[in-house]
Structure 1
């Protein structure tokens, strides 16, 4: 039950960070497409990358707990690679949304279809991001601020270590042992 509560809490935080990142992304996309007539895929790439910087900072600060068994450079690399895939998905869906439209003609419809494509892309990329980040970046260790076991009135006990090593744990341990001197 406690695990489900933590997952729901994490999903809510992920959603709040995602809403702010989406507003940044969507605002810049519409400014570039509607006001400056930039191609929607180029505008989508620019807006995605700008919102990604906010998303990385907020996700690692508020949503996902740092893995002590993973080097920070590996966290950044995983985030970057998953973001590149997310950008590809985003751009592909935006491109599909206006497929067959003649550039410059029916600008209002172009902007509308771009926005519909962006909404679809946002949902798909958000699902991709949560799954990959939860799998590879989120610590499985209980947080020290877990508090008190309300039923027993004593400090909550940490969960037992799983018997097998997950891919994420192996990757994290490898990254720690292969971190160049001076890096964190």
Structure 2
């Protein structure tokens, strides 16, 4: 593995860790404090953390040129991949919580791990 790829993976993990804290924190607040149904709360928290992830990924993780930042195709692809990631996350949450009976915050960790792999591959394809 080359140094550039290792650096991207390390930075992706840092950004992902912060995004996870945002995601899990908002999910917990919406679910526990505001009693919002877990799948709706998950959709909101995922969306907010994805916006942070987009900004951080284009600023720090991947070497995104100004040309690519201004190109609407990349934004559209990011949104499309994010919608697929949200759908995958929602399906995982539903299966883990409603079908298997796992506590929703543990399910969030498992779901995030699955979606994280998808996110890295799609973002790498987009920006490299």
TM-score (norm 2): 0.90
How far apart, CA to CA, are the structure 2 residues paired with 1:67 and 1:131?
A: 19
The structure whose Rg is larger is 1
1:115 alignment partner in structure 2: 105
The superposition leaves residues 75-111 of structure 1 with CA deviations (integer Å, 9 ceiling, x where unpaired) of 101110110000001111111122159xxxxxxxx8x
Equivalent runs, 1:79-118 vs 2, <5 Å: 79-99=78-98, 113-118=103-108
2:114 alignment partner in structure 1: 124
Structure 1 runs (4+) deviating above 4 angstroms are 67-71
How far apart, CA to CA, are the structure 2 residues paired with 1:84 and 1:127?
A: 15
Root mean square deviation, CA, Å: 1.9
Q: Is the 8 A contact 1:40 1:95 kept in 2?
A: no
2:33 alignment partner in structure 1: 35
Matched, 1:135 2:125: yes
The superposition leaves residues 40-73 of structure 1 with CA deviations (integer Å, 9 ceiling, x where unpaired) of 1100000011111111000000011225775621
Q: Which runs of 5+ in 2 are unaligned?
A: none
Q: Is the 8 A contact 1:21 1:54 kept in 2?
A: yes
Q: Does 76-85 or 31-40 show the bigger shift?
A: 31-40
TM-score (norm 1): 0.64
How far apart, CA to CA, are the structure 2 residues paired with 1:100 and 1:94?
A: 9
Q: Which runs of 5+ in 1 are unaligned?
A: 102-109, 139-184
2:45 alignment partner in structure 1: 47
